Structure 1
């Protein structure tokens, strides 16, 4: 009878233990990333407001010169029939009226060029959040493990509405779940040897319109992504909007560990596995 109890206890520990452990780990997970997280951390100056040029007012047309009116000769007074009237001087012809000149047309207005309010250089600002996340399965029990860091640097340059260059760097040594998985995942990513994950844009991105508060646009991006010392070309969609005069971006980059020579910490354990691994980015850019 004793051996039956022992078997049941072992089964309970084998099934219930991982369940309790993994769900204790998932309790440390942060909430999902949201653009609203960036609203209270704005540090950059407001975007410049570009005022349209006011059209010039043409000068008022000059009235035509007044035409002088000749004076009539004074009336002649009758005199006695015996008086010879004095000779009458000829009446001079009235002067010709001054020619009327049509007013000059107003000068043509130069075309007004409105500069893009987002053009220029931007730098990663406060509140930026980078994460790695993966599904960790042990003995049939799966939970999401998330490591996060605010240690992100980078910049981008915009001409008109087009991002012509962009670079990001994430310190993976500080991307922690603050749980018992940290040592294993640091070993998996070999962060002591490859401390940084990077993304470099390789194709320009044109916004459909100037990002506006409350309006979220989906835009594709292509670039070189590096993690664990391996670089690959990736294409993914990101969301963009404006949050308190900042340019905000949110994206998820799928990562297949085998594409980057990453050996999962449970690769030698047939009872455990990881999957659906991602790099998640919530980035705020402030004007440089």
Structure 2
């Protein structure tokens, strides 16, 4: 028998080669899909947990407190001073991964009038264009599409009646009380009930509150973008250092 007769038929070799190619092609496709899924899930996880800073802790009494000594009388006008902060906290889902966005600013102004055991009036204003997170892209979305700061540059909270503590807090004493007020965001004002935590120091009074906000109540557009889902509500956080001015 000739050597040629012993050689594999060309059609058989072609069939064998195609079979190998199909098996390799399927393996490559499965591998590509697996890598894509890994990148889809693992990429955001790596970004959130490795590349990004952890979200800031909630604002709390004690931050920026002034030292001890005999406390100044409470009666008079108290002005928002250095160390005051305000901002927001919302939950995000970044390509399936849960994360928390926290925006803050120190550009907070306002006054409160105290008489005896009561806060008789008070209003706080926040410069919304200065609110910032750790991501410039998120901040641009917040300032332009969400809060429209060019049209609504500030947000405010104003008391809608006196707040009575029952007795004048001693220096270093922390007290809590409910207060009625009006919160204005994006030009829309709504009545709210808030819990105020207050501590009196030697020459300052510190006030902290957190206000739940449902975005639709304030005509705030859906803040989500493709790939990032955001809850339809958030928290406004405020920490005030008040210093007596008159």
One fold, TM greater than 0.5?
yes
8 Å Cα contact 1:25-1:145 kept in structure 2: no
Partner of 1:216: 174
The correspondence of residues 31-70 of structure 1 with structure 2, limited to 5 A, is 31-40=57-66, 47-48=71-72
Cα distance, 1:47 vs. partner? 4.7
8 Å Cα contact 1:38-1:243 kept in structure 2: no
Partner of 1:85: none
8 Å Cα contact 2:76-2:115 kept in structure 1: yes
CA distance in 2, matches of 1:21, 1:263: 26
**Per-residue CA shift, 1:207-253, capped at 9, x if unaligned?**
13222344211111111110111110111111001133211100001
The correspondence of residues 98-137 of structure 1 with structure 2, limited to 5 A, is 117-137=73-93
CA distance in 1, matches of 2:51, 2:183: 29
CA distance in 2, matches of 1:141, 1:122: 44
Partner of 1:162: 118
Gaps of 5+ in 2: 1-26
The correspondence of residues 231-246 of structure 1 with structure 2, limited to 5 A, is 231-246=189-204
Cα distance, 1:274 vs. partner? 2.3
Task: Return the index of the structure with the highest Cα Rg.
Answer: 1
Partner of 2:229: 272
Partner of 1:29: 55
8 Å Cα contact 2:92-2:229 kept in structure 1: yes
Residue of 172, 182, 199 corresponding to 2:139: 182
**Per-residue CA shift, 1:39-75, capped at 9, x if unaligned?**
25x7xx9754xxxxxxxxxxxxxxxxxxxxxxxxxxx
What count of residue pairs does the alignment treat as equivalent?
216
CA distance in 1, matches of 2:179, 2:244: 21
TM-score normalised to the size of structure 2? 0.80
Partner of 2:240: 283
Q: CA RMSD in A?
A: 2.2
Gaps of 5+ in 1: 49-116
Partner of 1:226: 184
CA distance in 2, matches of 1:196, 1:25: 32
8 Å Cα contact 1:219-1:239 kept in structure 2: yes
